[in-house]
Amino acid sequence: MQTNMRGMDMITTQEWTKDQIDTIMEVAMDLKKKRALGIPHAYLRDKVLAMMFFFSSTRTRGSFEAGMAQLGGHPAFIDSRTTQIKHGDTTKEIGDIFGRYFDGIAIREVTWGQGNKYIRGVAEASRAPVLNMQCDIYHPHQILADLMTIIEKKGDPRGKTITVSWAYASSYLKPISVPQSLILLATRFGMNVRLVRPPEFKLMPDIVQQARDNARKHHGSFEIMEDFEAGMAGSDVIYAKSWGPLLVTADPEEGKAITDKYKDWITDERRIAMAAEDAIYMHPLPADRDIEVTSAVLDGPHSVVFDQAENRLHAQKAVMALTMS
Ligand code: CP
């Protein structure tokens, strides 16, 4: 177990060692057990977390707010539209000033080409740790909860096959941060990672290269496939969700026209039956029900999406307790 995480930023799991991530998992499991048993765990008494949102959220806001309160501290929800950012507050003002008020600054800014730069700018100016609640490139707290769920459901991830697949959705061009963070972390835990997507839905080349390097170093594998059903065959973990063709276009109309070519990429019972008999189905939510995935799968025996959503709470509490205490 590592004990040297106080003050660290969580912007991407790639900047944390494998041992440190193992510690997050261990602490998260312990906090989950403590909550189940009603054992108080106020490790952050009198600490305050700023939670700045530039984009909507259900799970991230709810789990960070509840988690901070359960740790004995206070979450301060800040809608970016109510700040003076549009009147001149740059990342320097936010990082330097909020770093003096708060014990941690959590930010969600998913704007393509801007979100990660914004969070990095705040982190550079802040004396308090900065936690990425999702940017355009990474969603580290989602993926920590995903790893915790995989360990709970499937045991040691090493040698297990995970299908990280694109799926069709009509609601909006979803960020690529979830599949990118997932291929980065799953390859560090020795999983056999299949990235499955139509040709227009590529991920960032440097992220894909890092995933390949991780797989080589940690004795897993990484392959890219373009056949949805072949990608499902025999897999232990089906993680199929939509994202926008952002490397081709960030224009909503152009992106929708490309996306609409692949309406048949829906996770349904026939396709889930192609995976391993005891395969689990994962999705970070929100999902476009009966468009991206059928209700029969989302609410069916393979689905672990509600346990996965719960684990956001425990994994984030572990990160907050380790970085902000
Ligand atoms: N999975 C996730 O980040 O959910 P929210 O967008 O509701 O926070």
Q: CA-CA distance, 103 to 303, in Å (whole number)?
A: 37
pLDDT of residue 286: 98
> Structure pTM?
0.98
Same domain, 21 and 159: no
CB 207 within 8 A of CB 252: no
Quote the longest CA-to-CA distance of the chain: 56
Identify whether 6 is part of a domain. no
Identify whether 175 is part of a domain. yes
pLDDT, tens digit, 9 for 90 and up, residues 143-181: 999 999 999 999 999 999 999 999 999 999 999 999 999
Q: CA-CA distance, 158 to 190, in Å (whole number)?
A: 4
Which helix (H) or strand (E) segment holds residue 21: the answer is helix 18-37
pLDDT, tens digit, 9 for 90 and up, residues 46-102: 999 999 999 999 999 999 999 999 999 999 999 999 999 999 999 999 999 999 999
pLDDT of residue 322: 98
* Averaged pLDDT for residues 219-237: 98
What share of the chain in percent tops pLDDT 70?
A: 100
Identify whether 82 is part of a domain. yes
Same domain, 133 and 151: no
Regarding the beta carbon of 161 and ligand 1, being less than 6 Å apart is answered no
Residues in the chain: 325
Identify whether 100 is part of a domain. yes
- C-alpha 284 – ligand 1 centre gap (Å): 7
**CATH number of the domain enclosing 296:** 3.40.50.1370
Identify whether 8 is part of a domain. no
Residue bearing the CA closest to ligand 1, atom 1: 284
Same domain, 162 and 250: yes
Same domain, 194 and 259: yes
Same domain, 304 and 160: yes
Identify whether 5 is part of a domain. no
Question: How many whole angstroms from its chain centre is CA 252?
Answer: 23
Sheet containing strand 280-282, edge to edge, reads 221-225, 192-196, 161-166, 237-241, 280-282
Residue bearing the CA closest to ligand 1, atom 7: 58
Same domain, 147 and 72: no
Instruction: Give the Cβ contact number of residue 251 at 10 Å.
Output: 13
Query: What total number of domains does the chain contain?
Result: 2
Identify whether 70 is part of a domain. yes
Identify whether 1 is part of a domain. no
* pLDDT band for position 302 (cuts 50, 70, 90): very high
Range of the domain at 107: 13-139+310-324
pLDDT, tens digit, 9 for 90 and up, residues 18-35: 999 999 999 999 999 999
Regarding the beta carbon of 65 and ligand 1, being less than 6 Å apart is answered no
* Per-residue CA distances from 291 to 168, 239, 259 (Å): 7, 15, 12
Same domain, 158 and 300: yes
